[in-house]
Every structure is written in structure tokens, then in C-alpha cells.
Amino acid sequence: MTAAQDSSAADWGPFGRPVFEDPSARALSRVGVVDVGSNSVRMVIFDGAARSPAYFYNEKIMCALGAGLSETGKLNPEGRARALSALRRFQHLARGMGLPGLSVVATAAVRDAKDGSDFCAEVLRETGLKIWVIDGREEARLSAQGVLLGWPGSYGLVCDIGGSSMELAEIHDGEVGKRVTSSLGPLKLRDIKGGRSGRKKHIAAAMQGLSEQMGKQTDRLFLVGGSWRAIARVDMMRRGYPLRVLHEYRMSARDVRETLKYIDATDLNELRAACGISSARMSLVPYAIDVLSRLVKTFKPKDIAISSYGIREGLLYEQMPQRLRNRDPLVESCRFAEAKDARLPGFGKTLYDFVIPLFNSSPHTTKRLIKAACLLHDVSWRAHPDYRAEVCFENATRANLGGLKHSERIFLGLALLHRYRNKRQGTAYEYLYDLLDEKGQKEAEILGKAMRFGAMLMVSNSGEIGKLKWQPRKRHLSLELPRASKDLFGEVAEGRLNSLAGTLEAELSVKITK
């Protein structure tokens, strides 16, 4: 570790310095990318300054450029016209927003079509946009980098399905390893002869070949692509899953089998309407679920996670220096939110130092959530006092944050809810609490009440506000309060400290120091 890195660690413990204060991070603000896929054309404008990017603008047009490609060898004429119109609009929007330019990539349909180069030339002539046509291995790499944007240091197999292709990439230690491409996209599969039986044989043979190239892959399977997300929505409905956030949604091999049966037994139009899936996307789901079923049977992953981050996020990740890539996207995003919205930016670190003695034996996975909660503890102060606790919970559980399991979203939400409210019963969100076990709910309550008390001492973002000491075996909680802060320890503050001690089932002592 360099001296600079050591200084950074001393400042922020295991979390490092706030990434968005780095000029190279601020340069990533308002990054515009366009993905010209076989099924859709999408523009995303990222605000990447917080390492966990905000979606400043996001628009998708279902063009089906790859429809009929297997038969004609050319792009779908109607889809081509719609794609050109969409790109004209996207370029106009980008100029109006003052973007320096758009990074445009095209995948399987354009690279495979005989008129793909002609289409690129037409787009350049009509819009001034240069399309970079990437091969399947590069598509796999960029999609895997998108996953790494949300899960730094992850291990597993990334599977990105588009309209005309499916890519696999191995990730480990923040690096992309082996990667392969295939023609297992739904638009191509529906042209396979022999009905579903013929299609399944084709998928099985292709998957066996991919397995031979990729080798054993039994870690997590990360699913990237609109068809996978549509299947996840169906799985959520089938299971009655309460939190409709696709990113980090988990499925098992059994879930995949049950959802395949569910799709086979249910009218697609009914499913489409119930799940809020477009008709164009829903028409591809029966082909995609057969691919997923065989994929899971072949590679036998330990679990399956949906990633909302893919090739577009991979393009953003491509522009980040490595030192930024290594940062925790959750903590950095929360630090950015504090700087932007809190009444006293910087107090989150003081609050973290104050409450962490209650969690000294907790693992790093918990401490990073505590850090995030402390940074977010005051960002919703503008909300109406009667609804502030619920607003905090909703923001935490629905926010576009990377690096958060669904149970961790509930932990963060409950901690922030208890920052403003003693009891969690009686809210509109009780149906979500059970996504976190009872132990986790209790820890979130303790954290929330500790923040609720600590906020009573919030007069400066520098200096010591006091020290908590927790002796779990003796069930004893003590507070050492500097004499300079004695007058802050009024009736309300004392009541909040007593509430924390009650939740800990602890004896309490308070000492005023010099």
C-alpha cells in the first residue's frame, strides 16, 4: 500500500476516500451511450460521478432489427427505419443536453447482416453518429464489465442474451476471463425447424459446445438482458415476491424449472398484462426460458442473480480508471447523496464513528451497510415529518443502487426508518420486512435508534460528539459525553438514548468528560 493509500485508509477506514471528489470521476458525469441491439435500440445517459451511476436519461425503442435475419440475411426493413428514426432522436436529445458525444455500439444483428455496413453508413450520413460494430467476444466482455460495475470483485459466469445472440463471460477478482458467443438468441431460435422439440435439441447441442469452451462454472450465474428480466418478472409474480426490484433478484434452479412450467401453462397475453411486459418482449420469453433451463442444467450454478447492469454500464466502466473501479458502489453513491442533500455534509462519517462500537464484532458486509445508513441518515430531511420514516424506507429499498442484495435493501431501509421512528409496525411496508430475518431486523433497529440519538448531537461535522461503549456480555451500554456537548443532552436526547438501551436490553450509564 502506498503512503497516499494508507492516508486514505486512515481517513475513511476500509471504505477509502469519496470517489466523486476525484476529478477523473467528475469527468464521467453525463456519459451518453447507445446500444443498437437485435431487438431494441436504447440510449442511456449516465451521471457516473458517484461510481454507482444514476440514470439521468433512459429511452428504449423496440425495433427488432434482427427479425427474419436467418432467412433473408438482412436487417428487418421496418426495424431498420425505426432504428434510424430513434438514432436521429437520440442525437438531437444529446445535443440539447450538451453532451460532448454519444458512444454507439451495435451487436449481433448489425454485425451478421449483409447490409449491416450499409446501415452504419446511413446512420453516419443522417445523424453524424459513428456506430462501432463489436464482435461477440467483445460484447461478452463489455456485459461482464457492466456486472463488475455493480459487483466489484465478483466471481461467476455472466450470461447476456440479446435478440440474435447469447454471450458467456467468466469473471473473477474484478477481471473478465474466458468468453464465448453463440447464436442462442430468441429471434434466431424461433427460425429453427422442427418445432419446440427441434429447438430444444439445437439448444442442448449448442450449450454442450459452450460448456466445453468455458469449462466448469459453478459460482453465481449473472443474467443480463431484457429476456432474462422478463422471465424474472414472471418468476416474481409466480412466487408472490413482494419487492419488485429486478437488480440482484435471486432465483434457484428449482425456480427456473417451476417458472418454465408456469409459462407453459399460462396464456402469454395474460402473463404480459399481469407482469407489465411489452408484447414484443413477451413473444421472446418462451424461447428464452428454454435456453435458461438448459443453461442451468449444464453449468449448475450455486445461485442465479439478475443484473440490470450490462453492456451499456460496461461502456461506462470502460472509461473508469482502475482506482475508481475498485471502490464500493454503494458507499460511494451514499456519500454523493450526503454531499448533495444532507443538511450537514460530512457528519455521516462522525455518526459512523459514533455508532460503530455497537457493531464491533459485525462482518464487513454489515459494516458497509452501517456506513451507507450513516451517510444517508439526513438526506430525506425535506420530506414531511409525518411521512419521513416511510420516505426513507422507500428510498432505500427502491433506489437505483448497486452492490445491494434485497435483504440488504430492507436492512438499510429499516435502519433509516428507525432513524425517524421508534416502531416499525403500522407502516405501509410491513409486507417487505420478512425479506430480512429477525436478527437482521433487530440489528437494523439498533442502528436506526443509535443514529436517531446521535443526530441529536449534530452541530458540527468535525470534532468528537461523544463515545458509546457496548459490553454485550454484561448487557451494559455507556455514553461518554464531552462537557462541551452537555447542554445538547436534553430531555428528547435522553429519551432517545433510553430507547436505544431498551432495544439492547441493556443497563445504561452516562458520564460527562472534560
Instruction: Write the pLDDT tens digit of every residue in 120-130.
Output: 999 999 999 99
Strands of the sheet with 507-513, listed across from one edge = 467-471, 476-482, 507-513
Average pLDDT over residues 387-393: 95
Q: Does pLDDT of 5 surpass 70? A: no
Q: Which three cell numbers stand for residue 246?
A: 429486478
CA gap 122, 107 in Å, rounded = 17
Q: Going from the N-terminus, what domains does the chain have, and what CATH number goes with each?
A: 18-133 (3.30.420.40), 137-313 (3.30.420.150), 328-513 (1.10.3210.10)
Residue 446: partners with Cβ closer than 8 Å, 6 or more residues away:
358, 500, 503, 504
Q: Which residue has the higher pLDDT, 140 or 332?
A: 140
CA gap 488, 502 in Å, rounded = 21
Q: Does pLDDT of 473 surpass 80? A: yes
Measured CA angle at 228 (ends 303, 233), to 5 deg: 90
Instruction: Write the pLDDT tens digit of every residue in 362-383.
Output: 999 999 999 999 999 999 999 9
pTM for the complete prediction? Answer: 0.90
Task: Supply the pLDDT for residue 351.
Answer: 95
How many CA atoms within 13 Å lie on the side-chain side of 152? 16
Phi then psi for residue 181, to 5 deg, are: -130, 160
Q: Which three cell numbers stand for residue 449?
A: 435508534
β partners of residue 61: 41
Q: For residue 512, with 0-12 CB atoms within 10 Å meaning exposed, 13-18 middle and 19 or more buried, which class applies?
A: middle
Would you give the distance in Å from CA 123 to the centre of its chain? 32
CA gap 156, 223 in Å, rounded = 11
Task: Indicate the pLDDT class of residue 49, thresholds 50, 70 and 90.
Answer: low
CA gap 130, 121 in Å, rounded = 8
> Roughly how many angstroms between the first and final C-alpha of the chain, as a whole number?
37
Average pLDDT score over the chain: 91
